[in-house]
Amino acid sequence: QKEVEQNSGPLSVPEGAIASLNCTYSDRGSQSFFWYRQYSGKSPELIMFIYSNGDKEDGRFTAQLNKASQYVSLLIRDSQPSDSATYLCAVRRISGGSYIPTFGRGTSLIVHP
């Protein structure tokens, strides 16, 4: 079982719709959860992080965390073509003072006009 699993996609949604990206993880000791956006050929860019169960909203983005079910999701409201990218889920536990995230393979999102 992969440590962090994401559907590779592509997930295709029309402009203005809600895009829902999901991620499951295997390590119950995970404490921090991150969503990165990566445009083709560019560096990963952090867009959201969440530590506590429930929802966290930032503009058009909402991260949802359910530790009991070991999943974290990212909702993008009013999707725009500029949101088309690969979204990477990463989870992290604090182990020996190290803050190293474990990444999923990413979900490709396509927002079409």
Partner 1 sequence: EAGVTQFPSHSVIEKGQTVTLRCDPISGHDNLYWYRRVMGKEIKFLLHFVKESKQDESGMPNNRFLAERTGGTYSTLKVQPAELEDSGVYFCASSNRGGYNEQFFGPGTRLTVL
Applying CB under 8 A, which of residues 16, 26, 46, 78 lies at the interface with partner 1? Answer: 46
**Residue appearing with tokens 């404490």:** 31
The Cα–Cα gap between 59 and 79 comes to 12
C-alpha to C-alpha distance for 3 and 25, rounded to whole angstroms? 5
Shortest distance in whole angstroms from residue 11 CB to partner 1: 18
Quick check: 20 binds partner 1 (CB under 8 A)?
no
Residue 23 CB, shortest distance to partner 1, in Å, is 11
Structure tokens at 10: 């592509």
Q: Which residues bind partner 1 (CB under 8 A)?
A: 2, 4, 36, 41-46, 49, 88, 96-106
